[in-house]
Every structure is written in structure tokens, then in C-alpha cells.
């Protein structure tokens, strides 16, 4: 697991040029770029690193700064950042994964206005606390609070970063039920197989040791 910065699968994209000018000029213009990394800062959205065709690297831009190649600026909706990415980063320690089962698959997410947006999967960012000797001030490992961020290339030309509970995936050979599980509940349990109140091993040096069920927590 990386600290602060992490590699991502390279994305050939376009950057909205006003982000290169602190949002003060060149609105409505774009230029080609490559996205190659992310920065994860607690309490901030995922921030992307990009290299331009002149070789310059620009760090820490939000997902709203970019649009896909093949689109003209006037074709792509100007969508608010909080409609593209629902949650900030949960820690300084991101893990980037490209899940094979989702690779190339399409999906849709529902935004704050209950509008569905369709797109295709790129990769996933997840978070955890890396070191028991560092005070954990975040909530990346609290079951009811944890969220990952699936990065999507939307059909409208934008990119998005959305958690599991806002997304429905379409895998034609498997996802055959046409239903949205709005009555499912957030997972709040902390699972533990080494609960000493339920079992213990025998007190010996046997290689194939016995396991004993405890009674009344004793």
C-alpha cells in the first residue's frame, strides 16, 4: 500500500486548460495529457497527476479537470466535482487495483439528484490504515464508514469516482436480474475468527493440536 502517491493505469485524456491557469483563463479549451498517478490526502478528493505533450507534469488536480479524448469541450457536460466523486479520501494510504472481473465492463451510478450516469470501469482506489504504531485518526477501516472509489469513464465524456453503494454493474453473462436493491443495509459488523471467548487450542507442543470449544466464556 502506497503512502500519499500511487501509480494508476495510464489514461489518455484531455485536460480542461483553465486548470492549468488556476481557473482564471482559457475556459472552454482542452489539450491532450496522460494521467499516470493519484495523490490521496485525508479529507480531500482523489487528486490526479498528469503529464502534458510538452513534457510538463501537473500535480493534484480533481477528476473534474479531465475529459476523455474523442470529445469536444462543448459536447461534455460541466458537472460539479461532488456529482462526479461522492466522498473524499479516507486516509493517506491508497491501494490501486484493476479488478479483472470488472475490466472493460459497463455500469451506472446514481448521483445526488437521483440521476443515473452510465460508463465503463477503469480501476479502483481503496484505503486502509497501514501501521499499528501510527495513531489511526481516520475511519477507513470502520465497517459502516468505509468506501472505495471505482473510477469510471462516463459515456458523456467525463470521468467519475463512485463507491459500491451508488453503482450497478452490467456483466452480461452473470448480472441477469433487472432490479435495484434499495432495501439493502450498510454492513456494520466487525468479523473475527479468533474470538477467545468461543475456542482455544490445547496447551501442548503437538503439531496436530486439538481445538477446544470454551463454555460460558471461560
> What percent of the chain shows pLDDT beyond 70?
99
Determine which helix (DSSP H) or strand (DSSP E) holds 83, and give its type and residue range. helix 81-84
Determine the pLDDT at residue 216: 60
pLDDT at 217 over 60: no
Task: Spell out the residues 6+ positions from residue 14 whose beta carbon is closer than 8 angstroms to its own.
Answer: 30, 31, 32, 33, 66, 67, 68, 69, 71
Q: How far apart are CA 29 and CA 70, in angstroms?
A: 14
- Over residues 20-62, the pLDDT tens digits come to 999 999 999 999 999 999 999 999 999 999 999 999 999 999 9
Question: Considering only CA atoms, which of 62, 59, 64, 63 is closest in space to residue 37?
Answer: 59
Within 10 Å of residue 216's Cβ, how many Cβ atoms? 5
- pLDDT band, residue 136 (cuts 50/70/90): confident
Mean predicted lDDT score pLDDT of the chain: 93
Q: How far apart are CA 85 and CA 159, in angstroms?
A: 9
- pLDDT band, residue 83 (cuts 50/70/90): very high
Record the cell numbers describing residue 142, joined without a space. 470502520
Q: How far apart are CA 217 and CA 77, in angstroms?
A: 60
Question: Considering only CA atoms, which of 167, 161, 164, 162 is closest in space to residue 186?
Answer: 164
Determine the pLDDT at residue 45: 98
- Over residues 184-209, the pLDDT tens digits come to 888 888 888 887 778 888 889 999 99
Determine the pLDDT at residue 212: 85
22 with 57: CB under 8 angstroms? no
Half-sphere exposure of 152 (CA within 13 A, CB side): 31
Task: Spell out the residues 6+ positions from residue 199 whose beta carbon is closer than 8 angstroms to its own.
Answer: 211, 212, 213, 214
Determine the pLDDT at residue 58: 97
pLDDT at 172 over 70: yes
Task: Spell out the residues 6+ positions from residue 103 whose beta carbon is closer than 8 angstroms to its own.
Answer: 121
Higher pLDDT, 129 or 100: 100
Q: How far is CA 3 from the centre of its chain?
A: 16
Residue range 87-114: average pLDDT?
95
Q: How far apart are CA 186 and CA 144, in angstroms?
A: 6
Determine the pLDDT at residue 214: 80
* Least confident segment among 96-100, 112-116, 184-188: 184-188
Task: State how beta strands 66-68 and 5-16 pair.
Answer: antiparallel
- pLDDT band, residue 157 (cuts 50/70/90): very high
* Least confident segment among 14-18, 62-66, 171-175: 171-175
Q: How far apart are CA 161 and CA 94, in angstroms?
A: 14
pLDDT at 130 over 90: no
Amino acid at each position: 500500500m502506497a503512502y500519499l502517491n500511487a501509480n494508476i493505469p495510464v489514461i489518455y485524456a484531455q485536460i480542461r486548460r483553465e486548470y492549468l491557469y488556476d481557473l482564471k483563463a482559457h475556459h472552454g479549451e482542452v489539450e491532450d495529457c496522460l494521467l499516470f498517478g493519484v495523490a490521496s490526502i485525508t479529507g480531500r478528493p482523489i487528486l490526479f497527476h498528469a503529464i502534458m505533450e510538452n513534457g510538463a507534469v501537473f500535480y493534484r488536480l480533481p477528476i473534474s479537470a479531465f475529459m476523455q479524448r474523442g470529445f469536444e469541450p462543448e459536447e461534455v457536460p460541466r458537472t460539479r466535482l461532488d456529482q462526479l466523486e461522492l466522498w473524499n479520501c479516507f486516509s493517506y494510504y491508497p491501494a490501486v487495483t484493476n479488478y479483472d472481473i470488472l475490466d472493460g465492463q459497463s455500469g451506472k451510478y446514481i448521483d445526488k439528484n437521483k440521476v443515473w450516469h452510465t460508463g465503463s470501469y477503469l480501476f479502483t482506489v481503496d484505503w486502509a490504515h497501514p501501521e499499528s504504531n501510527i495513531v489511526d485518526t481516520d475511519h477507513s477501516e470502520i465497517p459502516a464508514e468505509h468506501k472505495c472509489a471505482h473510477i469510471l469513464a462516463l459515456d458523456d465524456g467525463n470521468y467519475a469516482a463512485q463507491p459500491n453503494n451508488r453503482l450497478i454493474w452490467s456483466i452480461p453473462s452473470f448480472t441477469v436480474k433487472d432490479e435495484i436493491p434499495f432495501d439493502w443495509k450498510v454492513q456494520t459488523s466487525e468479523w473475527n475468527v479468533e474470538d477467545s471467548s468461543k475456542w482455544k487450542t490445547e496447551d501442548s507442543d503437538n503439531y496436530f493440536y486439538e481445538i477446544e470449544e470454551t463454555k460460558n466464556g471461560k
